[in-house]
Amino acid sequence: MQRPFLPQTICPPPRAKIVIYHGFIVIRLTALLLLAAPLLGQVNAPASDLIFQTGQGWSPRVNVESQTVMVYGIDDTMPERIRSWRDHGYRVAVMTGVAWGRYGDYLRGDFDGKTHWNETQQEKSGKLILHTGREVPYISPTESYGKYLSQGVKRALEAGAEAIYLEEPEFWARAGWSDAFKSEWQAYYHEPWQAPDSSPDAQYRASKLKYFLYRRALGQVFDFVKQWSTEQGKSIPCYVATHSLINYAQWAIVSPESSLLKVGADGFIAQVWTGTSREPNLYEGVRQERTFETAFLEYGALQNIARSSGKRIWYLNDPIEDNPNHSWTDYQRNWESTLVASLLQPHVSSYEILPWPDRIFGPRGLHQTTEPSPDNPHPDKTPISPEYETELQTVFHALGQMNQPNTRWEKAGTQGIGVLVSDSMMFQRAQPQPSDPELGSFYGLALPLLMRGMPVEPVQIESTYQGSNAAGFLNNYKLLVLTYEGQKPPSPAFHAALASWVKTGGALVVVDDDQDPYNRATEWWNSSGKRLPAPREDLFRALGLNPSAQGLHRVGKGVVLYTAQSPAALTHSPTGAEAIRKLTHQAADAIHLAWTETDALVLRRGPFVIASGLDLPNGTPTPLQGTFINLFDPHLALRQNPSLAPGERSLLLDPSFYPADQPRILAASARIANLSTSPNRMAFTTSAIEGRDARDLSAIRILLPHEPEEVTINGKTLDSEEAKYANGMLLIEFPARATQQQVAITF
């Protein structure tokens, strides 16, 4: 596969000269313009990093636009699959599961002569927790399992993997009865195992141990890769693909999350998609799916961790989801919602554009035409529509240009607000007294603000006191909201950092009735000489406040506003969200932070306009001024002065960002390479996912100062239906092909 020219990789021939020509970087050799790199943004803006994962080798139907492919699994077919993708121009990494995988050789004892089925995660009833099939259980990791994963990763490195991605270190909260886990309890706590459901304290401690075990396992692999890299004179990074803390807590799963940065992870893939984000939550007493809002908070949680460390992060987007019992229409609508949520995070511009392309475009890509109903419980299944396939490829190419220096909010409410969250949120999710199943202690604080247009961010408590950026981490925020219902502070160092932030001018809103049974878990605030009934009391002592001091209080240059209420209980009330907004508004006023509510979020990233209308009861449409290209339209339709309805998601491109008198490729559902221009001619090659038939089209919209005289594809002239010129732009559509096609335009 031939890659598009990028500015940072242009190597001019001898006696050539690099010059800037109307927004293009070109190579001038005597008087001839040879090559140009089309950029959607300022010259020299680096392209976004795009990746995807697959368990298959290359084929024309999965010819996905991406710099890097993650070949999944470390079985015997891995080397051949790596070769397959590398032969087509891809940089190749390897991804494999951590908590599960096709690791029968380990379970049977082929690895070290010992069977390891006793390491399967196990419920109280004795039931083994399986991922898929009898041979793929969830593992309770021992040190020998970490060694096994390291040897599998070694085979990947020897086969040429340029990076390692370890996926989903997950320990179910309902587990904890296996023999291996009991042995690890004895080694970790130096006391006999306790049934996790015997008390809140036992459940909390079991979850802390689960957290430690997967951190240890990944640390073993990270250490092995670093050592191997050093011995080979290479630098092989290691990344973790993980759900958000928010989702893991709601699904009752324990994962090391933020602590992985301390044991060698070089960054994350934020695994957020329809399947995680459609999980219902409660707001104003109504339990329902809120895919956009949930995704916005999930992406924000992982972005917050990465930003605190300066490490890499990719946002996953999935055009379908794991649940096969939904329709193509449902998948498309929810994908657009999660995609827009990811693009509204201005600090991230790298993306995993899809997982498993074969289940979208390939033989496995058969999904329902409609949602199941009583009259039609088993709808017919069809391949992806040509329209959705073209839309996806258009967006893939747009994602490659999201690293835009000119980024600003065009419509948003009050900024600089965060809701404090800790990994300990995952420690309270199972019997005997699990926290609120809808995670109301978090959503009850975050949704009231987000639903009024405030781009609120989950703020990782652990980042405030550990890591090289801890000292100034909280300076990004002006107002923070905190509860210890459903979570606990892992260290008193957090209270020192938070008190310091308040005293220098921050506003802290605390919503907590101190009734959480996990306040009595054996932890630092009630052990080693301390006997506090709740961790909030230690925080208030650090702030110099009486623990019972409700209301607004000045602390240094900042303020603390405390109310003894349960955030989860407020989610059941039609007036609960407004109660949180009033408290937060009061605290904002106290530090002179302007309070603004909006009915939409609109972010501009260079030429791109990303917009989401908020789903409010009496919401009104939001007008957007200008003429835009609709990137969610397979024909790249123009929208003039569009009106954004409540609940509508949009991804638009503004042609006026560029000079109107210079030719430029604006949007495309095909890969563009080998671009050359002259004063009256443009030529380039395209390639795409191979179409199944003539209905699968590539669409390209080009800014042209004059109506074209001729447009050809592989030497064949296009007619007026295939090449349309209007509003200073040319739209061409032609059958999609994986092999390169030559486009030439004279004007």
Q: Are strands 417-421 and 407-411 parallel, antiparallel or unpaired?
A: unpaired
User: What gap in Å lies between CA 480 and CA 575, rounded to an integer?
Assistant: 21
Q: Which of 301, 330, 297, 332 is nearest to 317 (CA)?
A: 332
Mean pLDDT of 293-315: 92
Give the confidence band of 131 by pLDDT, cuts at 50, 70, 90. very high
Q: Which of 332, 298, 542, 525 is nearest to 425 (CA)?
A: 298
Beta bridge partner(s), residue 77: none
| 7 pLDDT above the threshold of 50 | no
Q: Is the confidence at residue 334, as pLDDT, over 70? A: yes
Contact assessment for residue 453 and residue 426, using Cβ atoms and an 8 Å cutoff: no
Q: What pLDDT is attached to residue 356?
A: 97
Paired sense of beta strands 417-421 and 479-482, if any: parallel
Distance of alpha carbon 27 from alpha carbon 7, whole angstroms: 10
Cβ distance 138 to 181 under 8 Å? Answer: no
pLDDT at residue 502 tops 60: yes
* 255 has a pLDDT exceeding 50: yes
Q: What is the pLDDT of residue 31?
A: 26
Over residues 96-117, the mean pLDDT reads 96
324-342: average pLDDT: 97
Cβ atoms 484, 204 nearer than 8 A: no
Give the model's pLDDT for residue 46.
61
The SS3 of residue 233 is coil
Q: What is the DSSP letter of 128?
A: B
pLDDT of residue 38: 36
Say how far apart CA 70 and CA 103 lie, in whole Å. Answer: 19
Whole-angstrom distance, CA of residue 588 vs CA of residue 34: 57
**Mean pLDDT along residues 184-194:** 98
The number of beta carbons lying within 10 Å of the beta carbon of residue 108 is: 13
Percent of the chain with pLDDT over 70: 94
> Which pLDDT does position 1 carry in this prediction?
32
* CB neighbours of residue 664 within 10 Å: 23
Q: Say if residue 5's pLDDT is above 70.
A: no
Note the pLDDT of residue 132: 87
User: Lowest-pLDDT range, 36-50, 85-99, 327-341, 678-692?
Assistant: 36-50
Instruction: Say yes or no to pLDDT of 13 above 90.
Output: no
Q: Per-residue pLDDT for 350 more than 80?
A: yes
Please give the pLDDT value at position 168: 98
**What average pLDDT does the chain have?**
92
For 681, 738, 746, the CA distances from 717, given in Å and listed in that order, are: 15, 20, 11
Question: Among residues 94, 189, 107, which one has the least CA distance to residue 140?
Answer: 107
Q: Which amino acid is at 610?
A: I
Query: Which residues in 190-236 belong to E strands, given as ranges?
Result: none
Tokens of 610: 């990303």
Q: Is pLDDT at 36 greater than 70 in this prediction?
A: no
Q: How far apart are CA 248 and CA 7, in angstroms?
A: 40
> For 44-74, how does the pLDDT look when each residue is reduced to its tens digit (9 = 90+)?
346 789 999 999 999 999 999 898 999 999 9
560 forms beta bridges with: 508, 553
Nearest to 482 by CA among 548, 535, 413: 535
Give the residue among 199, 169, 204 at the shortest CA–CA distance from 189. 204
Domains of the chain are 7-37+659-746 (2.60.40), 50-173+208-410 (3.20.20.70), 417-590 (3.40.50)
**Between 328-343 and 386-399, two packed helices, what is the crossing angle to 10 degrees?**
10
Residue 194, classed as helix, strand or coil, is coil
pLDDT on residue 11: 28
pLDDT of residue 276: 98
Lowest mean pLDDT of 23-32, 401-410, 591-600, 732-741, name the range.
23-32
Query: Mind listing the pLDDT tens digit for each residue in 523-561?
Result: 999 998 899 999 999 999 999 999 999 999 999 999 999
220-237 pLDDT, tens digit per residue, is 999 999 999 999 999 999
pLDDT for the residue numbered 33: 25
Q: Is 529 helix (H, G, I), strand (E, B) or coil?
A: coil
Q: pLDDT tens, 627-685?
A: 999 999 999 999 999 999 999 999 999 999 999 999 999 999 999 999 999 989 999 99
Phi, psi dihedrals of residue 320, rounded to the nearest 5°? -130, -140
Kindly report, residue by residue over 432-444, the tens digit of the pLDDT.
Answer: 999 999 999 999 9
Residue 123, CB-side half-sphere exposure with 13 Å CA sphere? 9
Asked if 55 and 66 touch (Cβ cutoff 8 Å), the reply is no
Q: Is 700 exposed, middle or buried (0-12, 13-18, 19+ CB in 10 A)?
A: buried
Residue 601 has pLDDT above 80, yes or no: yes
- Read off the pLDDT of each residue in 163-176 and give the average, rounded to a whole number: 98
On the question of pLDDT at 21 being above 90, the answer is no
